[in-house]
């Protein structure tokens, strides 16, 4: 059952890797192809300080590169379809009209109106730590609404890099949601923690050398302590895992865009808002 889901959907799922000016990959999310577009989590709006962005699709072993493109961060931002962030929170739409991706298939979006609790699901997503595509399984455990937006709660474990993964209904192999809400919150918490530590380090640096106790500068001890906490926080974040997650209900997107037309006309320049 899950092998069929993998065979049907894996080739349309990609990793979106963000690189610093020094060529270091410091963050990643998942996306999946739909027509000429890439659907992913809104987390891409929150990743800053990138110099280049790589979009990479894998072979069916999940780790061998099948097709990839690396572009500047500026080009990546220009390819984000304008209006999405303001009108529909929870996801981003990116134009990936590259010849390298012409043979990459699209996933099919579900038009389910009454998805039931207990339905088996699969998540196919990119893993930051191993830089591969992997499948995870679980069930729909509940539903929730926040600010009028509907989310699907599921009980599969999520790792860093999984934001933007398609939540797939196993029996049909169709996408029912876009994973990401709690992983985006995790990123926000991590950034706040690092900012607090960096602010502490600035203050401590200003006081360095002004206090001396038995030939020991206690400020230097505190600086070393803050750097150790920062290192531990970074290591925890690299391997952070959440035992359940939330996904934006795919029907929330269909309510705003005529996605059937997008899938049919791959040359469409921008999505058409429904009136």
Closest CA to 238 of 195, 187, 192: 187
- What CA–CA distance (Å, rounded) separates 260 from 245? 27
Judged against a pLDDT cut of 50, whether residue 261 lies above it is answered with yes
Judged against a pLDDT cut of 70, whether residue 274 lies above it is answered with no
Give the pTM: 0.75
- What CA–CA distance (Å, rounded) separates 68 from 164? 18
Give residue 91's Cα distance to chain centre: 9
Please tell me the predicted confidence (pLDDT) of residue 213.
65
Phi, psi dihedral angles at 50 (to 5 degrees): -85, 150
- 167-198 pLDDT per residue, tens: 999 989 999 999 975 544 555 566 677 778 88
DSSP 49: S
Assign domain 2-184+238-264 to a CATH class.
mainly beta
- 15-47 pLDDT per residue, tens: 999 999 999 998 899 999 998 899 999 889 888
Please tell me the predicted confidence (pLDDT) of residue 95.
92
Q: Could you tell me the CA-to-CA distances from 238 to 27, 80, 130, 179 in Å, in that order?
A: 9, 26, 10, 18
pLDDT-above-70 percentage for the chain: 77
């Amino acid at each position: 059952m899950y092998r069929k889901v993998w065979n049907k959907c894996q080739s349309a799922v990609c990793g979106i890797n963000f690189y610093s000016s020094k060529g270091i990959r410091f963050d990643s999310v998942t996306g999946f192809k739909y027509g000429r577009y890439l659907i992913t989590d809104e987390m891409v709006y929150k990743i800053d300080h990138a110099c280049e962005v790589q979009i990479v699709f894998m072979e069916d072993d999940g780790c061998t590169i099948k097709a990839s493109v690396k572009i500047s961060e500026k080009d990546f931002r220009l390819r984000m379809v304008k209006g999405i962030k303001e009108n529909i929170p929870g996801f981003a739409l990116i134009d990936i009209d590259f010849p390298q991706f012409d043979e990459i298939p699209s996933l099919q979006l579900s038009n389910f109106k009454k998805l039931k609790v207990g339905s088996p699901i699969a998540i196919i997503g990119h893993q930051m730590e191993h830089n591969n595509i992997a499948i995870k399984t679980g069930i729909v455990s509940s539903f929730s609404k926040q600010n009028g937006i509907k989310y699907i709660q599921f009980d599969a474990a999520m790792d860093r890099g999984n934001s933007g993964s398609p939540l797939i209904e196993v029996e049909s192999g169709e996408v029912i949601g876009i994973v990401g809400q709690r992983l985006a919150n995790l990123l926000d918490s991590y950034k706040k923690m690092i900012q607090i530590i960096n602010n502490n380090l600035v203050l401590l640096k200003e006081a360095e050398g002004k206090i001396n106790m038995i030939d020991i500068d206690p400020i230097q001890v505190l600086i070393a302590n803050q750097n150790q906490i920062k290192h531990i926080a970074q290591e925890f974040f690299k391997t952070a895992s959440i035992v359940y997650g939330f996904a934006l209900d795919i029907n929330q997107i269909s309510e705003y865009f005529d996605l059937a037309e997008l899938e049919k006309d791959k040359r469409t320049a921008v999505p058409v808002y429904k009136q």
